[in-house]
Amino acid sequence: MLLGSAASVATGNGHLFTAETTQTGVQLGGVLGAAIPVLLSLWEAIPDKFKPSK
């Protein structure tokens, strides 16, 4: 948690995670809110042969 707080301060975001419900859906913010879509995209870009087997 301390590293996450440091990353939050270093990037200028005041919060680690924020979520706001709007008419168009859920808007994610903060450090984790920005990192989650990036991490999911990277996971999908990795070829299946490098992912752990089921």
How far is C-alpha 19 from the geometric centre of its chain's CA atoms? 12
DSSP H helical segments within the chain, as ranges? 2-11, 30-45
Lookup: tokens for 5: 């707080």
* Overall number of domains in the chain: 1
pLDDT of residue 51: 73
pTM: 0.47
Query: Per residue in 6-48, pLDDT tens?
Result: 666 676 666 667 778 888 888 777 767 777 778 888 888 888 7
Domain carrying residue 39: 2-50
